[in-house]
Structure 1
Amino acid sequence: MKVACTEKSQILGSKVAKTLGLPLVYSQFKAFPDGELYLKTGALDGETLLVSSTADNQSLVQLLLMIDACDRSEITLVLPYMGYARQDKRFNDGEPISSRAVARALSAGVSRVITINIHEPSVLSHFRAPAIDITLAPEMARWVASLGCDEPIILAPDKGAVIFASEIAKHGGWEYDHLSKTRLSGEEVRIAPSSVDAKGRDIVITDDIISTGGTLATAAGMLKDGGARSVHAACVHGVFASGGFARLAAAGLASIAASDTIESAASSYTAAGMIAEAMRE
């Protein structure tokens, strides 16, 4: 087996190859003057582990081209971050179910698919190859432990994300809760933990995705005003759209961390170990 990766996942792909002790195939990428993409990869036959996040449209097209270039190989596709996965329903007539369209397109030519903390697990059913989802909760728990906080509270941004927060919390034996909104007046809303007291405590807000960071920044400010000792933010997929990272930094968070499913300076823990573990099973 060899490991191949697209351009935006080359660091994670390299880590996966090193962790598994497999050779990494060098691939070249460029764009033609008309904007069309070109790639050339090394010899791939037998089995290929293909690591590729699709955080933007260019990465999606590169992945489609890479799958075709590996047509003589049995491909295990690792999608650390799957773009379009959040459009899992048709909300209005005439809309596509984007996650279904992308899953079906990426299924052609692959033997199995591994995703990481996909936003909506039902999306896995759209792949036309066996698909599993793995979690980075253990890696995020190790990062929380490295902060040196005294009995931190792991907070989900809403009730729907509390299961993920509980998965992280159980690895350290920490308390967990979710944020809730209380309308105090026609214009004033309070955001605070649903059941635990944050005063004098270290808070780590966790989620699968941080996109624009707007709600999280507001919550962090209110938690600090309510007496929290420190507020941190951690996610699997750091999208940070529309200046999201700067918004959180401006809100005074003590730290902002993401994994390398989307590679950036915020990548503080890696998905490589969990991918390797899934491959060994």
Structure 2
Amino acid sequence: MKVISTEKSQVLASRIAGALNTDIVDVKFSRFPDGELYLSAGALDDETVIIGSVTDNDALVQLLLLIDACDTSKNHLVLPYMGYARQDKRFHDGEPISARAIARLFKEGIEDCITVNIHEPDVLKYFGVPTRNISLAKDVGAYIKSMDLEDPLILAPDDGALAFAEDVASVGGWDCDHLEKTRISGVEVKMAPKKLCAASRSVVIVDDIISTGSTIATAAGMLYKQGATEVCAACVHGVLIGGAYVHLKASGIREIFCSDTIERGCSRISAASCIASAIKN
């Protein structure tokens, strides 16, 4: 078995290969003058693990080309981050179910697929091959434990993320809650933990994805007003668009960290061990 990856997942893929004690395939990437993508893979094995986060449209096309290039091998696909997964239902007439459209692309050339904290697990039914979702909640919890925070409050940004936050909190036996929005007026909204008090506590807001970071930044300001001593933010997938990292730091958040499903400067957690274990099993 060998590991091979798209251009934007090469660090994570190298770590997975190390965890599996196997080789990683050298791939050359380039672009034709008209903008079309090209790649050429080195020597393959009879079984290959293909690693590719769908972070943008080019990454998606590159992943499809890589799967086709490995057509002489028995292939296992790992999607550390699946773009378009948040459009998992039709909100208005005429819209695509984007998550379904992307999932349906992965039915030729692969035996099975692993996703990591996919935004909506119900999307797995759209894949054309057996697919399972794994979670980095315990890994996020382990990193929080290493921060030596005194009795932190683990906080989900909404009730939809509460199950993930509870899994994170279980690592240290910490308190867990979720933010609740209360509309004060037509223009003013208050956010606070639903049940627990943030006063005199370290708070870690956790979610599967941080995209613009606007909700977390607003929440941080309100938590400080409520007496929180410090606020940190953690996620699995650090999308961090539109200057989100700086926006979060400017809101007073002490530390922002994510995993390497999307390779960022604040990727403090590696998904490699969790993915390698799933592959072995």
Aligned 1:130-149 pairs, distance under 5 A: 130-149=130-149
Matching residue's letter, 1:117: N
Q: What is the TM-score of this pair, normalised by structure 1? A: 0.98
Per-residue deviation, residues 86-134 of structure 1 (Å, max 9, x unmatched): 1111222222211111111122111000000000001100111000000
Whether the aligned pair in 2 keeps the contact of 1:46 and 1:74 (CA below 8 Å) is yes
Supply the distance in 2 between the matched residues of 1:90 and 1:185 (Cα, whole angstroms).
Answer: 30
Corresponding residue of 1:186: 186
Q: How many residues align?
A: 281
**In the alignment, structure 1 residue 223 sits paired with structure 2 residue 223:** yes
Aligned 1:1-281 pairs, distance under 5 A: 1-281=1-281
Matching residue's letter, 1:96: P
Matching residue's letter, 1:133: N
Cα RMSD (Å): 0.8
Structure 1 stretches of at least 4 aligned residues deviating more than 4 Å after TM superposition: none
Whether the aligned pair in 1 keeps the contact of 2:106 and 2:129 (CA below 8 Å) is no
Relative to 1, partners in 2 of residues 1:16 and 1:155: Cα closer, same or farther, differing over 3 Å?
A: same
Supply the distance in 1 between the matched residues of 2:122 and 2:186 (Cα, whole angstroms).
Answer: 37
Supply the distance in 1 between the matched residues of 2:93 and 2:196 (Cα, whole angstroms).
Answer: 42
Supply the distance in 1 between the matched residues of 2:128 and 2:243 (Cα, whole angstroms).
Answer: 36
Supply the distance in 1 between the matched residues of 2:242 and 2:79 (Cα, whole angstroms).
Answer: 23
Per-residue deviation, residues 153-181 of structure 1 (Å, max 9, x unmatched): 10000011100000010111000000001
Displacement after TM superposition at 1:280 (Å): 1.6
Supply the distance in 2 between the matched residues of 1:93 and 1:191 (Cα, whole angstroms).
Answer: 32
Whether the aligned pair in 1 keeps the contact of 2:238 and 2:258 (CA below 8 Å) is yes
* Secondary structure class of the residue paired with 1:221: helix
Per-residue deviation, residues 35-94 of structure 1 (Å, max 9, x unmatched): 100000112231100111001111000000000000011110000000111111122222
- Unpaired runs of 5+ residues, structure 2, are none
Whether the aligned pair in 2 keeps the contact of 1:236 and 1:259 (CA below 8 Å) is yes
Once the two structures are overlaid, the 10-residue window that deviates more, 92-101 or 109-118, is: 92-101
Identical positions, percent? 55
Whether the aligned pair in 2 keeps the contact of 1:45 and 1:70 (CA below 8 Å) is no
Matching residue's letter, 1:121: P
* Secondary structure class of the residue paired with 2:24: coil
- Unpaired runs of 5+ residues, structure 1, are none
Whether the aligned pair in 1 keeps the contact of 2:53 and 2:80 (CA below 8 Å) is yes
